[in-house]
Amino acid sequence: MAAPRGTIRAPARRPCATCPYRRDVPSGVWAPEEYEKLRRYDAPTMEQPPGVFVCHTTGRNAETARVCAGWAGTHDGPHLLALRIAAMTGTLSGEDVHATIDHVSPDPLFASGAEAADHGMSEVNAPGPRALVAMSKVHRVRSDLITPVVERSPEEKSTDGR
């Protein structure tokens, strides 16, 4: 008999193409509040958020919800309060908890949530062309997570070259 599945699955083999933990994702793709969530998982275990950080492209309530592969690859799984709670409540199966703890990303990730958030926030008010392309892809799947980009004046564009 198969082990019971939780409501959130183990991380994908690699982080999605717009994962805020990936070093190769442009800055400014996500709304500021999404970047700020990353920092909170760097805190001591008992000060961390209790919820599992799910992949932005699947969402928490989707049937396809899964642990963010970047989150799993960046943070020290045994010290994540969210994984401990998910194991106790059945949100993640035991197998998926172990897969999350053992996850190693094939893509380069930031060393911490704070480092990823700092990078992401650096151009959040003026995303570059690569970020705008990424935002449009995300918008097709999760329009609730993208902050609309305000068109910049010609003067602003000429000073930063975009």
Residue 37 structural domain = 32-146
Q: Tell me what pLDDT residue 6 has.
A: 78
Q: Specify if 69 maps to a domain.
A: yes
Measured distance CA(27)–CA(23) in Å, rounded: 9
Could you give the number of structural domains in the chain? 1
Counting residues of the chain whose pLDDT is more than 90, the rounded percentage is 70
Is 131 inside any structural domain?
Answer: yes
Provide the 8-state DSSP code for 90: T
Q: Tell me if 108 is assigned to some domain.
A: yes
How does pLDDT run across 62-119, given as a tens digit for each residue? Answer: 677 899 999 999 999 999 999 999 999 999 999 999 999 999 999 999 999 999 999 9
Is residue 64 in a domain?
Answer: yes
pTM: 0.83
Please, what is the Cα angle at 66 between 93 and 29, to 5 degrees? Answer: 155
Three-state secondary structure call for residue 9: strand
Burial level of 101, CB count in 10 A (0-12/13-18/19+)?
middle
Residue 145 corresponds to which tokens in the numbers above? 């997570």
In a domain, residue 6? The reply is: no
How far is CA 137 from each of CA 12, 57, 99, 112, 149, rounded to the nearest angstrom? 19, 10, 28, 25, 14
Residue 157 lies in a domain: no
Q: Is residue 12 part of a domain?
A: no
Phi first, then psi, for residue 58 (nearest 5°) are -100, -35
Q: Residue 37 has what pLDDT? A: 95
